[in-house]
Amino acid sequence: MKRIGANRRQFLGAATMLAASALAPRVLSAQNRSVIKAVAFDAFAIFDSRPVFDLAEELFPGHGAQLSNEWRTRQFEYTWLRNSMHKYADFWNVTQDALNYAAKQSKVSLGPEQNKQLMSAFLQLKPWPDVAAVLQTLQKRGIRMALLSNMTDTMMKACVEGSNLGTMFEFQLSTDRVKIFKPDPVTYNLALEAFHLQKHQIAFVAFGGWDAVGAQIFGYSTYWVNRLNVPSEELDVSADATSHDLSSLPSFLDSLQKA
């Protein structure tokens, strides 16, 4: 009887320990859960590139739309192709290559002055109308902010300074630093290294649906600002929240704090 009682006590003790270990991760998770401390934005979620393509129509009446569509598509396709081929060129050069291709595909004669005007327009991008108010709200809350973009440092700096947003962004993180483009996981790690925070403490704001997927897979809470009202990507993963602008970003961050 003593042996049976001892075995029973051992069994109950082991069962109690197993139950405690099963519950422990949940308890620790709740205790250690941190609020969002920083937000990383893709540059195109902040800066409106539509004037570049409006300029294309001014320079090539009747052909600007086709040129713009080809240019926009190739601009991003070339980043993915270069990632796949392990043949890096920075985003400025990719943008130029994409323009050259688009001009030939659209059968427009792209002269040196027209080329200069179109390329220079990427250095003069202004914020979308909703940006300033939302950034101010986040700044008042003590949320740290950065740009995390395929744009080169020169491109980002020109747009930030031209829009008087220099005080908003603690970091301007170009993927040129790691010589590879989003959505490679190495690029999203730039924010972790800059902020010295953990993944669950950082939210990412994407302009492209593919970028939202990349950030989500990496482990960030992700907000997709679908400004162009395009369908979600069919890549098995979706952003935590989607909106046509940034106006609901503060409430999205609030929801993460309460989760």
> By the 8 A CB rule, do 192 and 202 touch?
yes
pLDDT 10s digits, 154-194: 999 999 999 999 999 999 999 999 999 999 999 999 999 99
Three-class SS state of 3? helix
- Of 78, 159, 69, give the one whose Cα is nearest residue 121: 159
> By the 8 A CB rule, do 41 and 145 touch?
yes
The pLDDT of residue 257 is 81
Written as six digits, the tokens of 259 are 């989760």
pLDDT 10s digits, 208-230: 999 999 999 999 999 999 999 99
- Of 45, 46, 55, 47, give the one whose Cα is nearest residue 120: 55
Q: What angle do CA 149, 59, 54 make, to 5 degrees?
A: 45
Q: Which residues are marked as active site?
A: 42
Q: What is the pLDDT along the chain (259 residues), one digit of tens a residue?
A: 444 343 333 333 433 333 333 333 333 333 334 489 999 999 999 999 999 999 999 999 999 999 999 999 999 999 999 999 999 999 999 999 999 999 999 999 999 999 999 999 999 999 999 999 999 999 999 999 999 999 999 999 999 999 999 999 999 999 999 999 999 999 999 999 999 999 999 999 999 999 999 999 999 999 999 999 999 999 999 999 999 999 999 999 999 886 5
| Cis peptide leading into residue 250 (ω within 30°) | no
The pLDDT of residue 258 is 67
- What domains does the chain contain, in order, with CATH numbers? 38-48+125-258 (3.40.50.1000), 50-121 (1.10.150.240)
Amino acid found at 149? S
In eight-state DSSP terms, residue 247 is T
Q: What is the 3-state secondary structure (H, E, C) of the chain?
A: CHHHHHHHHHHHHHHHHHHHHHHHHHHHHHHHCCCCCEEEECHHHHEECHHHHHHHHHHCCCCHHHHHHHHHHHHHHHHHHHHHHCCCCCHHHHHHHHHHHHHHHHCCCCCHHHHHHHHHHCCCCEECCCHHHHHHHHHHCCCEEEEEECCCHHHHHHHHHHCCCCCCCCEEEEHHHCCCCCCCHHHHHHHHHHHCCCHHHEEEEECCHHHHHHHHHHCCEEEEECCCCCCCCCCCCCCCEEECCCCCHHHHHHHHHHC
User: CA-based Rg of the chain, rounded to a whole angstrom?
Assistant: 24
The pLDDT of residue 14 is 37
